[in-house]
Structures are given as C-alpha cells and as structure tokens.
Structure 1
Amino acid sequence: MQYININLPNIIEARDNHYLFMRYIIKKKINGKIFNESPPVSNMNKIQKVNGIKSTIAKFFNDEDNLRKVLIGTPDELEVIKNKFLSTGLKKSLKTLMNYDSWIKTDDKATYRNYNAYHLAEKLDIPTCVYCNRIYTKTVINSSGTKITRPTFDHWFPKSKHPLLALSFYNLIPSCSVCNSGVKGSTPFEISTHFHPYHKNLIEDFKYTFSYDHRDYDKFIFKIMPDNKFSEVSVNAFELEEIFKAHEDEIEDLRRIKDAYSEDYIDMLENNILSGSGITLDRNEVYRLAFGVHFQEAKFDRRPLSKMKKDILIELGIIKV
C-alpha cells in the first residue's frame, strides 16, 4: 500500500481543479443559472422542485464552507460529515446532485464532458494501484482524444452508504478493479483503523514487509509481516497476503539470481557489464534495469511489485540498505 504525497504539484493542481469544476456544476444544479450567489429564499423551494433537489440540501451546499468540505475536505473532515442527509428522501436527492455515474461518462453530451474521471486520473498520474501495487492503473487517451483506460476510483467511504461523499476528492482513490470491486467493495472503513492513501495515521505508522518462510529451501511460504495492529487490519482487509501468493514465481526468480550470481549481483552489473561501455547509470538505474522495479520508496508507485521485490531482495541479501 502506497501513500499519495499530497504536497506534489500535480496532486495540488488536481485537487484545485476538482473543486473548481465540481463547485460550478453543483451550484448550477442547485441554483439554475444563478450560481455565483444563493437565490432569494422566496424562490428556493421553486428552484429545488424543478431540479429535484431538496431545499435542505440546497441550503447546505450554498454555504461555501460546507461545499468546500464536501469537495476537498480532508479524510478527517469527511468522516465527520459522512452521515448527513441519510433519510430516504434526502439520500435520493443527494444522488441526483452528487451523480457519480454522470461524472464517469465520457460522451460529448455528458454533464461533465469538460471534467470527468479521465481528467482527474490523468492529472493524478498514479500508474499502479495504491492498494496492492500489483497492477498498472495508467490513464491512456489516444492522439484523437479517445479515452481508452484509466484507474477505477474506489470510494473509501462507500457512496452507497454515504452519497454525500460520492464526488469528494479525497474519497476518490485511484485503484485497480481487483482491489476496488473484487476485494474492498462497500466494506466500511474507519480512518483510525484502516489505511487511507491520503491520510497518515498519527498513532501508528503504516508499515509492513514482504517475506517468506525458507525453512525448507525447495518449498517456501509467502507472507506479509505487518508492523502493528493498524497495518495488520489494513493488509487483511485487502487480502494482500492471499493475493500476493500468486506472485511466488517472482520470489523464485529472485532466489535463482542469488544462487547463480551470489549476493553481489548489482555490483557485478554495475562494475562488469557497464564498465567501459560509455553508459552512465547510477545505482538506482542499474537496480531498475536488473529487476524492472524502482528502489526508492517514493517511486514504488511507478512500477508494479516494487515494494514486494525490494523487501524480498533485502531478505535474500542481494541488496544492502
């Protein structure tokens, strides 16, 4: 699991763009053509009746602070407001206003044609799933503008239970379909107990390592070792250990490297293969060429299996840290 650095320029820009576009659409839905200021109270009920949005919800969203919290509030703020408007009638009205299904449409007639899920995914630029780091989640748009593929957006707070947060920036987590729909689904999470890629737990640091039981060299058992209870709960929620068992062949390949080339494999590549070739590569680049993944934790999201391979390589003694 990989945190998203909220201080990166592209993440900040993605958040700000999300707020501006979403604010415009929501204001327009609530107030008709008047979206720079709230309509007169006397006209409120009439406008809401036409747009199918309850006046209670309209008044809530016409408060700029409420609107900001819903659209770009921190995960902590979202947890506080997530249960507003949960009566049947209000939830239906909320779903009309916070229409996620419309936002993911890409046709020219779509409400969000100028800003939809592809625009957010492209700006975020998160190429592998933040939950498993196993599968590419790259956004692909061809030269003619046709939208081909993008990450799915997991609603960390399920939109079925919390429709108010259906379009909240920090509730839209770029992820693979396996983690999003196949494993997590609508399982309820809490900030204090589960990993959130935009929120670092202040009490327990999220940390785990990949390892394997090598008591029998010919038969080994893949395992994940959480550093604390918080990490354990999160790892179990996504069934990461079971899922990563499908990659035991990757560990076998790394073990064969150790057997064939000793623990000085990287040194051999750097000193023997590249010496005299005129190629200038630093140790991180040699590592990436050798194993197809990144060494620096900040770049784990750029290649699938980066964390798993680094942890196993450390355990095997092939790389030193």
Structure 2
Amino acid sequence: MIAIHQNKVKVVQSSFSSEIENQREKALKKLKDITKNQFNRVEKDYLISVINLFEESSPVKIIEATPNEIITQIANIGIIPPNSRFYKNGRAKKTLKSFILEALNYTSLRSSFYPNYFRKIGVKTCVYCNSSLTITAKKTSNNGYSAKFDVDHYHSKDKYPFLSISLFNLYPACASCNRAKKNDEIEFELYTELGAKTLKSEYKFKLHPYSKAKYLTTKDSKNIEFTFEEPIYANPNAKTFKDVFHIEGIYQTQNDLIEELIIKSQIYNKSYLKALKSNFSKLSLHPELFKRTLIGNYVEDKNIHKRPMSKLVMDIAKDLDLI
C-alpha cells in the first residue's frame, strides 16, 4: 500500500549481484537448449528475442531491469505468440511459455532466493492487502515443511514469461491476493523514483463519524464502522483494490483491533501519555518505538510492509489521536 524507492532496491540487488548473475547464466543456457525443439517462425523469433535479453552483452540487464526498462522491453518483444505450442508426433507436448518459465527457474527461486531478497528490502507482508504475510508453508514428501515466498507478477508471466524473474516486476503478495488479481490491470506503483511516494501512502482507512461514540455507548463492536479510501486512478481501465482484493471485506473481520484502539484512546489520554513517557524515560525509547509499543504496531507509513495490519492500526490510531 506504499511505494519503495528504486534506489533502495538497487542497493539490495547489488548485495546479491553474484546470485543474480548466476540466475542469468543458468537461464541463458536453458533458453538456448530450448532452440533444439521444433517451433514455427514466429515462435523462433520470439525465443531468440528472449535469449538476446539474457546475453551478457545485452544493453539491458533484464533481471534487474527498472520499471521503465520493463515497459520498453514489453513494447519491443510483446506478448508470447498465441497458442504457441511445441508439437511432437502431431500431439501437443508443451507450450513455449512453459519452456521459458522452466528455463528461468521462477518456481525454485520462490524458496531459494526471494525470501532473503525481500527480507533485506524490508517487505514481509502483502503489498496489496497488508493483512497477511507473503510466506506459504507447504508439506514436503518427507513430512517436513518448506516455506515459499508468494509474489505477484505485475506484468503477467502468462503474457510475458521472459519477465517472470525480473525483480522489479515482482510484487510480494499473499496467496489470496495473488489469486484474486490474476491478470487484472491495477494502478499501483510499488517501485518508484519519487521520494514523496515512499513516505505517505495514497490509501487510507478512516473511522466512520460517531463510530467511537456508538461503541462506547453500546460496547458492541458491530457498531464500529470504517471506510477504505483509494486514490483517483489515472487509468480508466484500472480496477480498484476494493474490486480486486475486497479490502473492506477482509478488514471487517478485524473490528476487535479497532475496539482495542478505542479503549486505549480512553485510557491513554494526553496527561497519562505524558506520565508514561516520564516513567519509562530510563528505557531511552525512541519516540517511534514508544508509539509502536503503545498501539502494538508500526506508526509510520514507510513501515507498512513490515507487519500485517499496520496500515489499519496506524490510520485508526491517528483518527483517535493516539499517535
């Protein structure tokens, strides 16, 4: 629900430079192996264009390509040829898309590379709903468990399989939001060059007028109502977060969090907060950490990605003058 500066991401990418280069080399070798199969002229041309992107001499490092570079390559290479399919003895064997995805090894990277990469960037929660972590635990054949990192391909890997491991095309997302989005077009820029977009989210939870008073009168959390506000989108074809991810539906199950904040707003009045700060001064807590401890979550938009429910909690806490 908030953007991350591209420069921050590039610094992290530089710390993984050897692993990223290893990904490129392996992908290039496997992509070249695909050419041994029989494809029509359109398919061959498409495959050669993809191979050229992964060559060391390519002017664009496609795995580290910036959002603008990704847009350029989409225009240059385009959507994978329709119904592209490798035939063997007259029978459909495997799509060219499947060949490319296997060559780029996206599935394996979900457990071997992306967890460490995104942890270093500071993303632990779904960038769309902020209600869930992005790790999915799956049972292994030996009755153990393995963790896989869920990411959404902003530009669909079904249409553009060559972007399946392009890091700026990967948006950490929970399994539910990933399934919900599918190939829908949404207008949300996770990676930006504008510093202002990394400090303040364009999305906001807002407590309904009189909700606090109604709850304090009835002590019934069903009387707690809120709205989820989105920015005005420039793209008329873009779908809203409400439409795609059902944000308000997800958070309507979390009224207990708001209930606790309302109670805290009654207990922690300004004079009591002043006394708490004085009493705990020996701990030398940073003001931000003091506020985080008070409401049980992060209090600045730039930290939204670090913990589930942080956006809801901080917005409502501000509405209640807790922070």
TM-score range, shorter chain: 0.7 to 0.9
Cross-structure match for 1:170: 168
Cross-structure match for 2:241: 235
* Alpha-carbon distance between aligned partners in 2 of 1:100 and 1:304, rounded to the nearest angstrom: 34
| Matched position secondary structure for 1:167 | coil
Contact 1:127 1:139 in 2 (8 A): no
1:156-195 deviation line (CA, Å, top 9, x unaligned):
12222332322222222211112111x2123234xxxx00
Cross-structure match for 1:246: 253
* Alpha-carbon distance between aligned partners in 2 of 1:265 and 1:245, rounded to the nearest angstrom: 30
- Structure 2 residue 58 is the aligned partner of structure 1 residue 76: no
Q: 2:45 aligns with which of 31, 53, 56?
A: 56
Cross-structure match for 2:276: 269
| Matched position secondary structure for 2:35 | helix
Amino acid at match of 1:97: I
| Matched position secondary structure for 2:5 | coil
Contact 2:114 2:149 in 1 (8 A): no
Cross-structure match for 2:140: none
1:201-227 deviation line (CA, Å, top 9, x unaligned):
89x996122111133522232111234
Cross-structure match for 1:111: none
- Structure 2 residue 147 is the aligned partner of structure 1 residue 155: no
Relative to structure 1, the CA distance from residue 99 to residue 269 in structure 2 (aligned partners, 3 Å threshold; closer, same or farther) is: farther
Amino acid at match of 2:205: F
Q: 1:287 aligns with which of 278, 285, 291?
A: 291
Amino acid at match of 2:207: Y
- Structure 2 residue 114 is the aligned partner of structure 1 residue 104: no
Amino acid at match of 1:2: I
1:228-263 deviation line (CA, Å, top 9, x unaligned):
335995433332222222222211111111123324
| Bigger RCO of structures 1 and 2 (CA < 8 A, at least 6 apart) | 2
Cross-structure match for 2:124: 127
Cross-structure match for 1:258: 265
* Alpha-carbon distance between aligned partners in 1 of 2:44 and 2:247, rounded to the nearest angstrom: 44
Shift of residue 28, structure 1, vs aligned partner: 0.7
Q: 1:195 aligns with which of 183, 188, 200?
A: 188
Aligned residues: 284
Contact 1:265 1:318 in 2 (8 A): no
* Alpha-carbon distance between aligned partners in 2 of 1:17 and 1:265, rounded to the nearest angstrom: 53
Relative to structure 1, the CA distance from residue 200 to residue 215 in structure 2 (aligned partners, 3 Å threshold; closer, same or farther) is: farther
Relative to structure 1, the CA distance from residue 100 to residue 147 in structure 2 (aligned partners, 3 Å threshold; closer, same or farther) is: farther
* Alpha-carbon distance between aligned partners in 2 of 1:258 and 1:116, rounded to the nearest angstrom: 42
Bigger mean CA offset, 310-319 vs 52-61: 52-61
Cross-structure match for 2:91: none
Shift of residue 88, structure 1, vs aligned partner: 2.3
- Structure 2 residue 192 is the aligned partner of structure 1 residue 185: no
* Alpha-carbon distance between aligned partners in 2 of 1:256 and 1:296, rounded to the nearest angstrom: 21
Structure 2-normalised TM-score?
0.73
Amino acid at match of 1:7: N
Amino acid at match of 2:230: P
1:81-122 deviation line (CA, Å, top 9, x unaligned):
4334323227922430232895324xxxxxxxxx55431221
Q: Which runs of 5+ in 1 are unaligned?
A: 33-46, 106-114, 141-145
| Matched position secondary structure for 1:129 | coil
Contact 1:19 1:68 in 2 (8 A): no
Shift of residue 292, structure 1, vs aligned partner: 2.0
How do 1:212-227 residues align onto structure 2 when only pairs under 5 Å count?
212-216=207-211, 217-218=213-214, 219-227=223-231
Structure 1-normalised TM-score?
0.73
Relative to structure 1, the CA distance from residue 281 to residue 55 in structure 2 (aligned partners, 3 Å threshold; closer, same or farther) is: same
Shift of residue 293, structure 1, vs aligned partner: 1.3
Relative to structure 1, the CA distance from residue 28 to residue 147 in structure 2 (aligned partners, 3 Å threshold; closer, same or farther) is: farther
Shift of residue 296, structure 1, vs aligned partner: 3.0
Q: Which runs of 5+ in 2 are unaligned?
A: 87-94, 138-143, 215-222
